[in-house]
Amino acid sequence: KVRIQSDYHLMVEEPSRLFDAFSISRGDIFTIHQECCRNLHRDIMSLRRKGARVGVAICPGTNLSVLEYILESIDVVLLMTVNPGFKGQKLVTQTLRKISDLRDMVDNLGMNTKISVDGNVTIEYIPEMIAGGADILVVGSSGLFRADMTTEESLTYLRDSINQGLARL
């Protein structure tokens, strides 16, 4: 029996109130927003006890210092490059620098924490995101499901953009 891992991004106030609604299997990823948790560390530990891998999302205006004492307890940091809420927003350009700052923080601590980027992930920004240290790109209507090209064309452009970023490493 093949089991597919689940990857949940809970963009809700006090996500811990929903944890028991999920059948969490070992290895599932749960990403919760730092700004939405009254007690982030407790929520991280609760998810860990349930067998989940844990991600923490932070909004564009949130300082990376909020991760300083939890980084060792999480598997993924999801950097929002737009303010959460609706699709089609312009990228907050300062978040591109934030990606490389987070990469430095993770590397300096010798961690294997993955850096994920979500929000207006487009062929225009992907090379800089990858060169800055992003490991995971969340693509949607801005990068993959575009009205001006087929999915196959979008995938070709996305791969080219990723390769441009990798060439800059």
Instruction: State how far the Cα of 83 lies from the Cα of 89, in Å rounded to an integer.
Output: 8
Say what the pLDDT of residue 5 is.
86
Q: How high is the mean pLDDT in each 10-residue block of the chain (169 residues)? A: 85 94 91 96 96 96 95 97 87 96 96 95 95 94 82 91 95
- Locate all alpha helices (DSSP H) within the chain, ordered by sequence: 40-49, 94-108, 126-132, 151-167
Q: Is 43 helix (H, G, I), strand (E, B) or coil?
A: helix
Is the backbone of residue 67 left (phi > 0), alpha (psi -120 to 50) or beta? alpha
Q: What is the reported pTM?
A: 0.91
